Structure 1
């Protein structure tokens, strides 16, 4: 009897942590989404979809934690079985997502470089690209793809976009005063940090899921069908 009560309490605690983690995951997803949305023209499509994935997973965790809590509190075998199945499915989906993210990461540098070169070449004709460059260079305090020299083919003189000097759109910025850091370097670092966050989140979720499945199966075995 004591063992059953201990398993119930442990499962409830795990699901409460699962609930808090789902809430945190959703909040992080929303925050990343609003940051990524500013320069969606720059980053690869699968990276811009990353925060949406976090929000979806966070919502699924809410439902899963609810099933687990109901199963633990009411000792309902159906809830416990559903909880275990949902966790197992989530585990397999997350493994697939992590593998896909690892594959995409290998080609990240080429993808970013191609995107920046396209945006630079079409800068004068595309207002969205102009806004994206302004945000990128202001946010990351960088200039051009690799350096301020990249803008010479676009501007035709020593002037570069004001954002290279952290200035407003109507101000003037000269190449010698511009940031010495290329945007490709800092953007790649930012995207790699996103992948690192994704991996850490996946590992934490797996650990919580593994513990939850063990406790749910133990409680299910004690309760019976």
Structure 2
């Protein structure tokens, strides 16, 4: 029965070349995944700090840093398992590790794709600016009633160099000192409303997340394909060794005689 390739046909590559390529790809991706974890941790403080201004009906948005860290851990786990499998390719356990790493990798890739698609649909339908404006209105209206809202308003206006929701007119010339640079009322007040820089910040943050998603998907697919090719090559080599061993055993047992093959009279 002829061999029908079920994966990638890497006959043009030697075993050593394929092993080195898979190792390098997954090592680079493992380092990239560590960077994803670091980015998630660094963004966590910002998202937690400004959680009140994020759309409250979209819980996944508020937990983007935590989700990024979780996916980063899955990426690292997948890459490490594959790297160990690459190192142990001469052992029968190496192929099992490669398969397990690929399963973890494809599962994490599927989950990240669903998460990215969900946010893409949500943001296209709702619009970031409108949602942030609603949250800001709620916070600014509680300025004189809630001490926490008052502190948050001051923090937002100082951190984003803004004044009011859509501009200084919101305060009717009764500006809080947070509308001034470094809360110095002797200087000129901020002219831009908080809605615009906050929307810009959130869009930039989500742009960074989108870039990480796209880059991780590309790198992850390459690393998983290389691991899959190496796994297939290991299976084929193993089958070849078994067939060669069986043929040698048959020859040793006398099932195939060189004299009979060479003498036509015995046929």
- Same fold, judged at TM 0.5 (above): yes
- The partner residue of 1:71 within 85, 99, 103 is 85
1:190 aligned to 2:201? yes
Shift, 1:173, TM fit? 7.3
* Higher-Rg member (1/2): 2
1:84 aligned to 2:102? yes
Distance in 2 (CA, whole Å) between partners of 1:102 and 1:217 is: 30
- The partner residue of 1:166 within 181, 197, 220 is 181
Between stretches 74-83 and 97-106, larger displacement belongs to 97-106
Aligned to 2:130: 110
Between stretches 105-114 and 178-187, larger displacement belongs to 105-114
**1:117-196 equivalences in 2 (<5 Å):** 117-152=137-172, 158-168=173-183, 172=185, 177-196=188-207
CA contact 2:75–2:108 (8 Å) conserved in 1: no
Shift, 1:179, TM fit? 0.6
Distance in 1 (CA, whole Å) between partners of 2:61 and 2:171 is: 26
Distance in 2 (CA, whole Å) between partners of 1:58 and 1:122 is: 38
Give the TM-score, by structure 1 length.
0.89
1:206 aligned to 2:220? no
Aligned to 1:99: 117
Unaligned residue ranges in structure 2 (runs of 5+): 1-10, 239-267
Give the TM-score, by structure 2 length.
0.76
Q: What is the CA deviation profile of residues 8-66 of structure 1, one whole-angstrom value per residue up to 9, with x for unaligned ones? A: 11111111111111111111111111122222111224332111111111111221111
Distance in 2 (CA, whole Å) between partners of 1:126 and 1:39 is: 16
Cα distance change, pair 173–150 in 1 and its aligned pair in 2 (3 A)? farther
Q: What is the CA deviation profile of residues 154-207 of structure 1, one whole-angstrom value per residue up to 9, with x for unaligned ones? A: xxxx22121110234xx6579xx3211111011111111122112111111111
CA contact 1:39–1:135 (8 Å) conserved in 2: no
**Which gives a bigger RCO, structure 1 or 2 (Cα 8 Å, sep 6+)?**
1
Secondary structure in structure 1 of the residue aligned to 2:53: coil
RMSD: 1.9
Distance in 2 (CA, whole Å) between partners of 1:64 and 1:173 is: 57
CA contact 2:74–2:104 (8 Å) conserved in 1: no
- The partner residue of 2:45 within 34, 48, 66 is 34
Q: What is the CA deviation profile of residues 109-168 of structure 1, one whole-angstrom value per residue up to 9, with x for unaligned ones? A: 22111100000111111222222212211111011110011123xxxxx22121110234
